[in-house]
């Protein structure tokens, strides 16, 4: 199952650009990484849901990415990701995309055919007992009951991933796209033993997977820091990477297969752990941190003052009024305390500095408001409805917005994760 076409680099960052205005500023962060001695390739991602909300087409992501690459003379690879697609939504992404996040979380737990489960278990006796992985003192222990239960829970999801993969392969041709399988948007973290079993099933399906996105323990809420035991996350990540390396050797999966960490943006407390584990195993990571850019656009508009600040206040007012509607699709990945949300009238009286300090993610400051940040994170639909009033101001204030976008992506994300520097 070696790759004979597109290959994802060791280090990559998946970054969203909801309104297709910040690709150049985002790419500049990768240029800055290169100037600091590390290759981090960009993967611009946008989901079908986001395209539907904004009213955009997948080709807009490709156009913006290509223009940024040309403007900055970027010579390394770059990709456009059809984010969280399934068999019903994938077709519109065939032409512009070369990276596909196949999301099968909804199929986890669906009943698989009993005969297929039995066949899988019989086909993989090597998964039973004690499995010692390179680089780990701790071994995985898999009983026949555990193997059968895991197959029962995940086999239907992997079969679904295979169906979508073959749809893409038929349209794009073998080797002409990067496949990722995503299982992070579900209710329970997958254990490293379950991940190994899942990878065996993925190999059976013939998916030339290059990244896998499991769910980790702890909470990965949108746009705010990780909530959970950082030491436990680090331990899980190390075991997952060891399981991936074992699966690559055992099942002939692509040698560049790596973890994809769907961070929901700004998981600053686990970034040192990610860097440490990557160094320990000499492993790569795909870090997806999509939503941050939209918030940096708001911060830039507020910093610009005048019409930009007024628009930022209007967006908050509308998001506050429609918070139930905006939050509903993201209920499992946000935790907003209504008592912490300032009233629209209070925000109307804020200065530029008050607005940006409440929204900018700087933990430990008295003014930072994680509830306001999460509400605005899911409130991009409000800006989309404003049409050219919003996008014209993005263009008019490009310099200040771009500075925020680049500094945020490099200083707070790329540097801690890939260079080991403090944010």
pLDDT in tens, 9-34: 999 999 999 999 999 999 999 999 99
Sign, CA dihedral 60-62-65-67, equals negative
pLDDT at 186 (0 to 100): 81
Three-state SS for 214?
coil
pLDDT in tens, 63-100: 999 999 999 999 999 999 999 999 999 999 999 999 99
pLDDT at 185 (0 to 100): 76
pLDDT in tens, 135-166: 898 999 999 999 999 999 999 999 999 999 99
| Residue carrying structure tokens 């436990």 | 232
C-alpha to C-alpha distance for 309 and 364, rounded to whole angstroms: 24
Can you give the pTM of this predicted structure?
Answer: 0.95
Give the number of other CB atoms < 10 A from CB of residue 234. 17
| 187 pLDDT tier (thresholds 50, 70, 90) | confident
Element containing residue 242 per DSSP (H, E): helix 230-251
Q: How far is CA 147 from CA 118, 140, 316, in A?
A: 10, 12, 49
């Amino acid at each position: 199952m070696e790759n004979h076409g597109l290959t994802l680099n060791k280090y990559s960052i998946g970054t969203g650009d909801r309104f297709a205005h910040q690709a150049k500023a985002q790419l500049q962060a990768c240029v800055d990484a290169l100037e600091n001695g590390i290759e981090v390739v960009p993967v611009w991602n946008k989901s079908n849901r986001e395209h539907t909300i904004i009213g955009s087409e997948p080709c807009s992501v490709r156009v913006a990415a290509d223009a940024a690459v040309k403007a900055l003379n970027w010579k390394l690879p770059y990709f456009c990701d059809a984010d969280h697609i399934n068999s019903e939504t994938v077709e519109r992404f065939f032409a512009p995309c070369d990276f596909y996040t196949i999301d099968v979380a909804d199929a986890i737990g669906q009943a698989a055919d009993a005969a297929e489960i039995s066949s899988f278990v019989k086909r993989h006796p090597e998964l039973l007992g004690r499995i010692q992985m390179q680089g780990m003192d701790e071994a995985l222990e898999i009983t026949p009951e555990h193997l059968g239960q895991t197959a029962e829970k995940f086999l239907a999801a992997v079969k679904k991933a295979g169906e979508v993969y073959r749809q893409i392969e038929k349209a794009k041709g073998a080797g002409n796209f990067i496949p990722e399988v995503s299982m992070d948007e579900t209710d329970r973290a997958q254990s490293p033993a379950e991940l190994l079993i899942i990878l065996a099933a993925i190999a059976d399906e013939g998916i030339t997977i290059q990244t896998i996105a499991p769910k980790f323990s702890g909470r990965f809420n949108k746009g705010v820091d990780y909530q959970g035991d950082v030491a436990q996350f680090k331990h899980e990540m190390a075991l997952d990477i060891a399981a991936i390396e074992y699966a690559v050797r055992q099942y002939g999966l692509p040698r560049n297969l790596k973890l994809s960490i769907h961070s929901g943006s700004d998981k600053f407390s686990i970034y040192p752990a990610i860097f440490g584990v990557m160094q320990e195993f000499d492993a790569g990571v795909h870090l997806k941190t999509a939503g941050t850019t939209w918030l940096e656009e708001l911060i830039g508009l507020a910093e610009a003052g005048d019409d930009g600040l007024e628009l930022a206040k209007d967006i908050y007012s509308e998001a506050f009024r429609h918070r139930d509607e905006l939050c509903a699709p993201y209920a499992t990945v946000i935790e907003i305390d209504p008592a912490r949300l300032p009233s629209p009238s209070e925000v109307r009286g804020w200065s530029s500095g008050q607005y940006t300090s409440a929204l900018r993610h700087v933990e430990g400051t008295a003014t930072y408001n994680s509830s306001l940040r999460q509400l605005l994170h899911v409130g991009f639909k409000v800006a989309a409805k404003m049409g050219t009033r919003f996008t014209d101001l993005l263009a008019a204030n490009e310099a200040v917005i771009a500075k925020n976008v680049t500094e945020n992506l490099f200083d707070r994300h790329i540097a801690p994760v890939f260079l080991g520097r403090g944010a």
